[in-house]
Amino acid sequence: MMSTKKDYYEILGVSRNASVDEIKKAYRQLALQFHPDRVPPEKKKEAEEKFKEISEAYAVLSDPEKKRLYDQYGHAGIDSRFSTEDIFRGADFSTIFKDLGGFGSGESIFEEIFSDFGFDFFGTQRTKRSRKRRGEDINYEIEVSLEDSAKGIEKTVEFQRLEACSQCKGTGLQPGTTKTTCSTCRGRGMVSSGLGFITLSQTCPNCGGEGVIGSKCGKCRGRGREVVNKVLKVNIPAGVDNGSVLRLRGEGNFGVDDYGDLYLHINVRKHPLFERIGNDIKYKIKLSIVKATLGGEIDVPTLNGKVKMSIPAGTQPSTIFRLRGKGIVDLRTKRVGDELVEVDIEIPKKLTPKEKNLLIELGKLRGEL
């Protein structure tokens, strides 16, 4: 008896000598086009049938042995050797929806791909994978001075976060009540509808995928958490820089199972005297012509107060002196940077007659005038 099934090559829209890559490409495009969750409700039934058809065609044509039997005997060669489930076993779906994320091990690739779409094959009931559901992380900006970033400081941080409801302790239930199994999904968290050998599954609309329902807490309206003003004393370590981020575990928002984290983003205020360069700081000092020419000792500001520094005679403009260990400690290595003192020669704009005559005399002595 002649088979009434459509030709698999015709279903995928490829030629009989199409390569494996061409078959995969054709299936990928059709699967995305006719997936039941991607079409309007009125076209869902039609899409389900089409999706089943193209999936079966790909399962055969992507398997060398099944493809050989189909090319030689047609549908009779497949139907006589394989059950419906066998047709799909071994089909290479590993690259069909690679843009939807990687697949784990321990399950058939076929099942994993389509579980990502929200439904199972052959009526298999898939249990929800347990995952610890943390609350959202919180990002908070904090400003410190350059001195504080160099020495470290304790700062008080005030912010709002979501904590477990003080009335229901995070359960979302009215105190004194308990959760009951959802009658719609019978505790599975998913509701299913049949599609031949395919079962389409969606999140239960009654319990939101939890599998259980109960009387909602009047204070948090069943959310299980409430807004709370939080005050923390935080130790800002020495060496933080502009853009540094500190992570405080468990200080974020409350989730179903645990708290998220608090991320402190550090902004270091611009300093009127110093410029930070890595773990070094740079300071520009103005010297008079006399001091630069004759040399001497000067006072130089640092992050820890003023220090004495010797200036050699004949110091030139843009000369840089290094004060060892006067910079900022490295967060990781704990090595302390230096202070770089750059010389700028200050030229007087006004001279007294006596000063002018002295400079003229100096110029004559040096043969410059």
Residue ranges and CATH numbers for the domains of the chain are: 8-117 (1.10.287.110), 129-171+221-270 (2.60.260.20), 179-213 (no CATH), 277-365 (2.60.260.20)
Where does the pLDDT of residue 150 fall: very low under 50, low under 70, confident under 90, or very high at 90 and above? very high
56, pLDDT greater than 70: yes
pLDDT surpassing 50 at residue 121: no
Q: Is residue 309 predicted with pLDDT exceeding 70? A: yes
pLDDT exceeds cutoff 60 at 187: yes
What confidence category does residue 307 fall into, taking pLDDT thresholds of 50, 70 and 90? very high
209 pLDDT band (50/70/90 cuts)?
A: confident
pLDDT band at 32 (very low <50, low <70, confident <90, very high): confident
CA distance 59 to 198: 14
Confidence band of 81 (pLDDT split at 50, 70, 90): low
Output the average pLDDT for the chain. 81
**CA pair distance 135, 224, nearest whole angstrom:** 11
- Greater confidence (297 vs 80) lies with 297
Q: So what's the pLDDT on residue 353?
A: 92
Identify the residue with better confidence: 97 or 55.
55
Query: Does the pLDDT value for residue 218 go beyond 70?
Result: yes
pTM strictly above 0.85: no
**Per-residue pLDDT at 126:** 42
Tens digit of each residue's pLDDT (9 = 90 or more) over 323-351: 999 999 998 899 999 999 999 999 988 99
- HEC states along the chain? CCCCCCCHHHHHCCCCCCCHHHHHHHHHHHHHHHCHHHCCHHHHHHHHHHHHHHHHHHHHHCCHHHHHHHHHHCHHHHHCCCCHHHHHCCCCCCCCCHHHCCCCCCCCHHHHHHHCCCEEECCCCCCCCCCCCECCCEEEEEEECHHHHHHCEEEEEEEEEEEECCCCCCCCECCCCCCEECCCCCCCCEEEEEECCEEEEEECCCCCCCCEECCECCCCCCCCEEEEEEEEEEEECCCCCCCCEEEECCCCCECCCEECCEEEEEEECCCCCEEEECCEEEEEEEEEHHHHHHCEEEEEEEECEEEEEEECCCCCCCCEEEECCCCCECCCCCCECCEEEEEEEECCCCCCHHHHHHHHHHHHHCCCC
Predicted local confidence at residue 92, as pLDDT: 55
- pLDDT greater than 60 at residue 127: no
